[in-house]
């Protein structure tokens, strides 16, 4: 499996359970690892044959910016569903952090992994070892 990644995508959104969180936009920082197969794109040097990280970034940014979830867990699940459906990604790992959400920690957040990793090439038979 090959991985296209997007690191430290910062988006201002409404997120949180407290009244003060609902009244002010907060920055969340996302990291995405997206399972794909880049061989066709690499062989042809053709963007249409790969996962377009610009399109993914723009879609996720617009979705998060317009969202107003209570829980970061909900935001993570909805972002994962969007990416997997809209971009036909079979596997992803996504982290979302809320920097400065707690005085005692630099950031808090969640990491989720969804889907099945893409197997590229022939499977290795145990008897071949």
Residue 124 has pLDDT above 50, yes or no: no
- Over residues 30-88, the pLDDT tens digits come to 999 999 999 999 999 999 999 999 999 999 999 999 999 999 999 999 999 999 999 99
Task: Please provide the distance, in angstroms rounded to a whole number, between the alpha carbons at the two ends of the chain.
Answer: 21
pTM above 0.85, yes or no: yes
Averaged pLDDT of the chain = 93
Catalytic residues, by residue number, are 98
For the chain, the domains span 2-116
Neighbours of 121 (CB within 10 A): 7
State how far the Cα of 85 lies from the Cα of 65, in Å rounded to an integer.
19
2-15: strand order across its sheet: 68-69, 2-15, 26-36, 91-99, 107-115
**2-116 CATH:** 3.30.1130.10
Among residues 86, 117, 124, the alpha carbon closest in space to that of 3 is found at 117
Among residues 28, 27, 53, 113, the alpha carbon closest in space to that of 77 is found at 113
Q: What is the pLDDT of residue 118?
A: 80
């Amino acid at each position: 499996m090959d991985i296209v990644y997007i690191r430290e995508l910062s988006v201002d959104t409404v997120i949180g359970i407290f009244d003060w969180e609902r009244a002010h936009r907060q920055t969340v920082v996302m990291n995405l690892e997206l399972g794909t197969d880049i061989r066709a794109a690499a062989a042809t040097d053709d963007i249409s044959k790969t996962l377009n990280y610009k399109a993914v970034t723009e879609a996720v940014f617009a979705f998060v910016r317009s969202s107003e979830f209570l829980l970061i867990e909900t935001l993570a699940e909805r972002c994962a569903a969007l990416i997997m459906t809209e971009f036909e990604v079979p596997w992803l790992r996504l982290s979302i952090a809320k920097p400065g959400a707690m005085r005692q920690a630099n950031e808090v957040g969640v990491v989720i992994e969804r889907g099945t990793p893409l197997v590229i090439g022939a499977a290795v038979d145990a008897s071949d070892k």
